[in-house]
Chains A and B, each alone.
Chain A
Amino acid sequence: MTAWMRFYRNRLAVLGLALILVLALSAALAPWLAPYDPARQSLVEKRSKPGAKYWLGADEFGRDILSRVIYGSRVALLVGVLSVLIAVAGGLVLGTISGFAGGWVDAVMMRGIEILLAFPYLLLALAIVAAMGTGALNTTIAVGVWGIPTVTRMVRGAVLALRETEYVGAARALGAATPALLRRHILPNIVPGLVVYATLFMANAILLEAALSFLGLGVQPPTASWGLMVSTGRDVLLVAPHVATVPGVAIMIAVLAFNLVGDGLRDALDPRLRGSA
């Protein structure tokens, strides 16, 4: 059974994939899908309940929550995807060097990585934002950098294991140069694990972006970010619960979707887990 078939049979994973597609579509088509300009305010309609005009209600400025959730998916996905790229690219390079070079290079790099891993995740991201300032781009970089150590460790472990395998030894004996060895024999074997990790990391990246924006360190107004929406909606939680709840549910769904897909991919790509849904 191919990996894809195994994935396809996992209903939860497919559901996750479908949700991600919806999310991607809403991000891509936001200007056409959103009923209103997400920054358009109508103060007299503040905290409108969900209804005919505003399907998911209006926030404390009378802004359409549905439109803001749709536009917010752009920030979430953009920060998610870009930070995953940063984390994966950084981790791949560092992990490969560390794993392949071994010796003191490996030792020095790993101690450095361990220092980074010792930071609580939010603290590291906060430090990066504090140093570089707030805004969508800096948030992305902060989230990406936060992901690098873990990816590095994972890649290094895989490279170490692969380096000692017989077929790599054989290729080396046949005179394969290091770049070719890496490109043809080692990297292709790391990719599946990396894909799974990247998917799961997406979920965390979206959550961290929301957390940073919630703390007022992420995107700046009037950009719609789910975390920021929850943050400001919280002030009116008792009088207008929908203002914070709707973006909160959006965060939950997105994180759940990526986790489901990640789990599905892991099961599908790992032969040892075959059969256990």
Chain B
Amino acid sequence: MRPTLRSRFLTGCLVLGLAAALVPAADAQKRGGTLTIVRPTDPVSLDPNLETTAPGAWVYFNMLEGLLTLDEKMQVKPALATSYEVMSPTKVRFKLRPGVKFHDGTPFNAVAVKFTFDRALRGTPPARWASLAGSLDGAEVVDDLTVDVVTKEPYGPILRTLAMYCMGMVSPTAVQKMGSDFSRAPVGTGPFKFVEWKTNTHVIIERNPDYWGDKALVDRVVFKVVPEEGARMIALQTGDADMVLFPSPAQLPALRRDSKFTVHETTGIRVVFAGLHAGMPPLDDVRVRQALLHAVDRKAILDNIMEGSAGPALGVLAPGVFGFKDMQLDRLYPFDRAKAKALLTQAGWTPGPDGIMVKGGQRLSLSWLAARGRYPKDGEITEAIQAMFKEVGVEAKVQILEWAAVFQQVRAATLNHHMFTLGWVTSNADADYSLYALFHSKQVPPVGWNTSRYANARVDTLVEQARRSLNQTEREKLYGEVQDILAKEMVWIPVYTTKEIIVSRAGVKGFHIHPVEYNLTLSKSWIDK
């Protein structure tokens, strides 16, 4: 799809000269056209209450805005709030931006903020993001444009939490009028508004002409579902797509050299891992888990499957996240098959007739849930590790299912699989977001994201303490200790840290890639030709 509206010079009418800072002076911005994006999976929903993963967030992030936002340098910036003031350890007062309207005409004000938080935190069940928002308790209306955000207890990461991609304000009128239909056609204040969603085909959004800030430059954005990597790349080559999410790593070297395309790259903050169900035998034995770590040649996966499109995983957090500590995986768990077998022997496993380890008549067979295409090369790394396990006498029964089916199963209260391939983004770049939701024993789904069913009283205490503290040095130390414990007990096989990579036609200008995959800002992009 080519631009339909012939471009007009826009520089003059851009608000407050902000654009001058973002775009080189020689590159005059053009307005109009349709930006077509191909990506592997369709959203589960377009309502942050129901969908916190990227396929939905990529779309709704452009329609819904929060009080604050994280810029590309991971700094907190104002969005629908213009300023804030800390009133007490559990209360922050925000001044709201005046004159903002939702796409349906409803005015944005303190009541809408309270409504959004009440709907998410007091709903039954609570919003998916409720567990990610720590001790956020809601909002109190002070006057029309002043609101107090309150937390149940002192909460260190409150500003970064409010700046998360899923904290977008929703129109109270629309939610009440639309009921459950809202999840397929959300109404926010953002630079784009919803047009159409055809399941597993496309989602279309268009410029919000009444946006309070810099209006979007393209007329429309079409998000198409193209599950296969090869087909996505072909769509880009033939011009059917302007932008590809999850491009083929094998083609990146050639694309970087090709002047017809732009490869946008930045270090991401997602760790992709093979999760271990620590509550399910035989994985409740830490020696078995450690053996699995030793059995995996992570470097070979990085070199040959990721092919430079990802960095090594240095632990359960990505470097750059506040509170990150290198878990020294290469030193503690080097690729060493002999060591892996020795640990299994220690745990009482002996080689069976077909080479698979046995103990008390039980084969060392692990059932493993994975999707293909949700995270870069997720199916492939699963298959590679499956083969590596076999070399040390561990059988992995892999089930590759579509993402929605995997998601439902890992989010269920009981998980009947030993392993699962997942990725985790520390979206607000604060260790609390991950270490609390992933490893606190009370955060087992559906409450939180402790899919490994990990339980360690010391870790619980540490993450609770770090969460309450407003002293950043102390918090960093506490999170360090958590990661030291996790390094010994290993309930993940961390495989890689993402690089966020998006490829576009060279004619797509003004796009800035964000370290947080969800924060796909499209309002500043424009189409040159």
Residues of A that sit less than 8 Å from B by CB: 39-41, 43-44, 46, 60-62, 134, 216, 220-222, 232, 234-239
Contact of B387 among A222, A236, A239 (CB under 8 A): A222
Asked if A239 meets B250 with Cβ closer than 8 Å, knowing A43-B300, A220-B399, the reply is yes
Q: 18 new A-B pairs (CB below 8 Å) besides A221-B379, A221-B383, A239-B251?
A: A39-B387, A39-B390, A41-B388, A43-B297, A44-B300, A44-B303, A60-B380, A61-B384, A62-B304, A216-B402, A220-B397, A220-B399, A220-B400, A221-B398, A234-B231, A235-B230, A238-B233, A238-B251
User: Which residues of chain B have C-beta atoms less than 8 A from A216's C-beta?
Assistant: 372, 400, 402
Contact of B386 among A43, A44, A221, A236 (CB under 8 A): A221
Residues of B that sit less than 8 Å from A by CB: 228-231, 233, 248, 250-251, 297, 300-301, 303-305, 372, 379-380, 382-384, 386-388, 390, 397-402
The distance in angstroms between the C-alpha atoms of A221 and B228, with both chains bound, is 17
The distance in angstroms between the C-alpha atoms of A189 and B401, with both chains bound, is 46
Asked if A44 meets B251 with Cβ closer than 8 Å, knowing A220-B398, A221-B398, A221-B400, the reply is no
A235→B399 contact, CB < 8 A: no
Contact of A46 among B229, B248, B304 (CB under 8 A): B304
A134→B399 contact, CB < 8 A: yes
User: Which residues of chain B have C-beta atoms less than 8 A from A237's C-beta?
Assistant: 230
A222→B386 contact, CB < 8 A: yes
Q: Tell me, rounded to whole Å, the shortest Cβ–Cβ distance linking A233 to chain B.
A: 9
Q: Tell me, rounded to whole Å, the shortest Cβ–Cβ distance linking B366 to chain A.
A: 14
The distance in angstroms between the C-alpha atoms of A217 and B301, with both chains bound, is 25
User: Which residues of chain A have C-beta atoms less than 8 A from B297's C-beta?
Assistant: 43
Q: Tell me, rounded to whole Å, the shortest Cβ–Cβ distance linking A52 to chain B.
A: 21
Asked if A61 meets B230 with Cβ closer than 8 Å, knowing A39-B387, A46-B304, the reply is no
The distance in angstroms between the C-alpha atoms of A250 and B502, with both chains bound, is 36
User: Which residues of chain A have C-beta atoms less than 8 A from B386's C-beta?
Assistant: 221-222
Q: Tell me, rounded to whole Å, the shortest Cβ–Cβ distance linking A68 to chain B.
A: 13
B230→A41 contact, CB < 8 A: no
The distance in angstroms between the C-alpha atoms of A176 and B398, with both chains bound, is 56
Identify 9 residue pairs between A and B in the complex whose beta-carbon atoms are under 8 Å apart, listed by A's number.
A43-B301, A43-B384, A44-B303, A60-B305, A134-B401, A216-B400, A220-B400, A238-B251, A239-B251
Q: Tell me, rounded to whole Å, the shortest Cβ–Cβ distance linking B175 to chain A.
A: 33
User: Which residues of chain B have C-beta atoms less than 8 A from A60's C-beta?
Assistant: 305, 380
Contact of B230 among A39, A46, A134, A238 (CB under 8 A): A238
Q: Tell me, rounded to whole Å, the shortest Cβ–Cβ distance linking A238 to chain B.
A: 7
User: Which residues of chain B have C-beta atoms less than 8 A from A236's C-beta?
Assistant: 230, 248, 250
User: Which residues of chain A have C-beta atoms less than 8 A from B402's C-beta?
Assistant: 216
Contact of A40 among B233, B304, B387 (CB under 8 A): B387
B398→A234 contact, CB < 8 A: no
Enumerate the 10 nearest inter-chain pairs by beta-carbon distance, A residue then B residue, closest first: A43-B304, A41-B387, A43-B300, A235-B229, A235-B230, A234-B230, A221-B383, A46-B304, A239-B250, A237-B230
User: Which residues of chain A have C-beta atoms less than 8 A from B233's C-beta?
Assistant: 238
Q: Tell me, rounded to whole Å, the shortest Cβ–Cβ distance linking B78 to chain A.
A: 42
Which residue of chain A has its CB nearest to the CB of B305?
A43
Q: Tell me, rounded to whole Å, the shortest Cβ–Cβ distance linking B379 to chain A.
A: 8
Q: Tell me, rounded to whole Å, the shortest Cβ–Cβ distance linking A126 to chain B.
A: 12
The distance in angstroms between the C-alpha atoms of A219 and B174, with both chains bound, is 45
User: Which residues of chain B have C-beta atoms less than 8 A from A134's C-beta?
Assistant: 399-401
The distance in angstroms between the C-alpha atoms of A221 and B384, with both chains bound, is 10
The distance in angstroms between the C-alpha atoms of A222 and B390, with both chains bound, is 11
Q: Tell me, rounded to whole Å, the shortest Cβ–Cβ distance linking A227 to chain B.
A: 13
Q: Tell me, rounded to whole Å, the shortest Cβ–Cβ distance linking B23 to chain A.
A: 33
User: Which residues of chain A have C-beta atoms less than 8 A from B379's C-beta?
Assistant: 221
The distance in angstroms between the C-alpha atoms of A236 and B165, with both chains bound, is 33
User: Which residues of chain A have C-beta atoms less than 8 A from B250's C-beta?
Assistant: 235-236, 239
Contact of B228 among A46, A62, A234, A239 (CB under 8 A): A234
The distance in angstroms between the C-alpha atoms of A44 and B384, with both chains bound, is 12
Which residue of chain A has its CB nearest to the CB of B370?
A221
The distance in angstroms between the C-alpha atoms of A46 and B386, with both chains bound, is 16
User: Which residues of chain A have C-beta atoms less than 8 A from B301's C-beta?
Assistant: 43
User: Which residues of chain A have C-beta atoms less than 8 A from B382's C-beta?
Assistant: 221
A61→B383 contact, CB < 8 A: yes
User: Which residues of chain B have C-beta atoms less than 8 A from A62's C-beta?
Assistant: 304
The distance in angstroms between the C-alpha atoms of A46 and B377, with both chains bound, is 14
The distance in angstroms between the C-alpha atoms of A134 and B372, with both chains bound, is 14
The distance in angstroms between the C-alpha atoms of A74 and B206, with both chains bound, is 52
The distance in angstroms between the C-alpha atoms of A233 and B301, with both chains bound, is 18
The distance in angstroms between the C-alpha atoms of A221 and B400, with both chains bound, is 8
Contact of A61 among B251, B303, B387, B401 (CB under 8 A): B387
Q: Tell me, rounded to whole Å, the shortest Cβ–Cβ distance linking A187 to chain B.
A: 42
The distance in angstroms between the C-alpha atoms of A236 and B304, with both chains bound, is 13
Q: Tell me, rounded to whole Å, the shortest Cβ–Cβ distance linking A43 to chain B.
A: 4
User: Which residues of chain B have C-beta atoms less than 8 A from A46's C-beta?
Assistant: 304-305
Which residue of chain A has its CB nearest to the CB of B372?
A216
Most chain-B CB neighbours within 10 Å: which of A43, A60, A216, A237? Answer: A43
